[in-house]
Amino acid sequence: MRRGVIDIGTNSVKLLVADCHGSAVQPVTETSRQTRLGRGLYESGRLQPKPIEDTVETVREFLRLAKREGAGETGIIATSAMREADNSRELIDALGQTVVILSGDDEARLAYAGVTTDPRLAKRDLLVIDVGGGSTEFTQGGAGGVQQHTSIPLGSVRLLEANPVEDPPTADQLAHAREVIDAKLRQTVLNGNWGEGSDCELVGTGGVATIFAMMELSMERFDRERIEEANLIQKRVSEWCEQLWSLPLDQRREIVGLPANRADVALFGSLIYERIMIQFGYAQLKASTRGIRFGALKGDFF
């Protein structure tokens, strides 16, 4: 059965149309557009008119595209920005469609379900990290399924808005950003039962992890197989962070593998992965191109 899912995120709206058979999800069409729905949210508590307008227009266009691609049904999910905004109803009313606003726990479970649509990872012990614009999800599991999961308010857009930087950022701003992320990790997951230096493999899903792999491989075009074969050691992740933070925005936009419209939020998204690797004691990061959209289509979520 061919189905679609549209994911309204804090930074981007994404579409996946796939042929779904049991737990297998075979992509047919994937696309995304940055609407920066979370812009201004963390200061005001409200979604702003222009991001709402851009997001509604994009979702409508993606619904038409999914129909042209033969999707029998297309569900719409939304994540951190819609979950936190006082006026989420404005976007839903303007859209005129049913939108499932995911809880942080929903995001964590769906991210893990999506990653494990890759048969190479389905039975392995994993710690799956999904770094988004407004939140980061942690899900640990193995052959027996999900063991624990959580979501914390730590994301690339949230950090960018709360910690404005110069162009290029200064060394002090980089040091401060690392301290802010470390403090949030200590307040949340590092106080839990997640362990340090776990035997689980660390898998990153979502845009930032994909960007890391594409930069490391100097990839100009998306290639799922190559990206999912990539492994980044902690030293390379830190080197990429140092490079990103040393360059002005215009030069970051020229890096092969880094989409120009993500060159600002990549500063903080990359640091979240670096700090997780260091604080948890992981030497290696594997990238997965499958996440909550794959997870939503894997079963009977809608």
Q: Tokens representing 284?
A: 């290696």
Distance CA 46, CA 152 (A): 19
Spatial strand order of the sheet with 136-142 comes to: 145-152, 136-142, 126-131, 201-205, 284-288, 231-233
Hey, what long-range contacts does 138-147 have (CB within 8 A, 24 or more apart)? 138/108, 138/189, 138/194, 139/108, 139/109, 139/111, 139/112, 140/194, 140/198, 140/200, 141/112, 141/116, 142/200, 146/109, 146/112
pLDDT of residue 302: 74
Asked whether the CA dihedral 5, 68, 53, 98 is positive or negative, the reply is negative
Cα separation, 29 vs 193, in Å, equals: 39
The total number of residues written for the chain in this structure: 302
Radius of gyration, alpha carbons of the chain? 18
Sorted by where each starts, the structural domains of the chain and their CATH numbers stand as 2-101 (3.30.420.40), 120-288 (3.30.420.150)
Q: How far apart are CA 265 and CA 257, in angstroms?
A: 14
The span from the CA of 32 to the CA of 50, in Å, is: 18
Half-sphere exposure of 279 (CA within 13 A, CB side): 21
Rounded to the nearest angstrom, the gap between the alpha carbon of residue 271 and the centroid of all alpha carbons in its chain is: 14
User: Rounded to the nearest 10 degrees, what angle do helices 171-187 and 266-280 cross at?
Assistant: 50
pTM of the model: 0.95
CB-based contact 180:159 (threshold 8 Å):
yes
Q: What is the pLDDT of residue 22?
A: 82
Please choose, from the candidates 152, 162, 146, the residue with its C-alpha nearest in 3D space to the C-alpha of residue 186: 152
Instruction: For the beta carbon of residue 188, count every other beta carbon within 10 angstroms.
Output: 17
The closest alpha carbon to 204, from 259, 144, 139, 297, belongs to 139
The pLDDT of residue 233? 97
3-state secondary structure 71-114: CCEEEEEECHHHHHCCCHHHHHHHHCCCCEECCHHHHHHHHHHH
pLDDT in tens, the chain (302 residues): 999 999 999 999 999 999 999 889 999 999 999 999 999 999 999 999 999 999 999 999 999 999 999 999 999 999 999 999 999 999 999 999 999 999 999 999 999 999 999 999 998 999 999 999 999 999 999 988 899 999 999 999 999 999 999 999 999 999 999 999 999 999 999 977 775 546 899 999 999 999 999 999 999 999 999 999 999 999 999 999 999 999 999 999 999 999 999 999 999 999 999 999 999 999 999 999 999 999 999 977 87
Residue 87 structure tokens: 């006026």
DSSP H helical ranges for the chain? 41-44, 49-68, 80-84, 88-95, 104-115, 156-162, 171-187, 207-216, 224-229, 234-246, 249-252, 266-280, 292-298
Q: Are 31 and 6 in contact (CB under 8 A)?
A: no
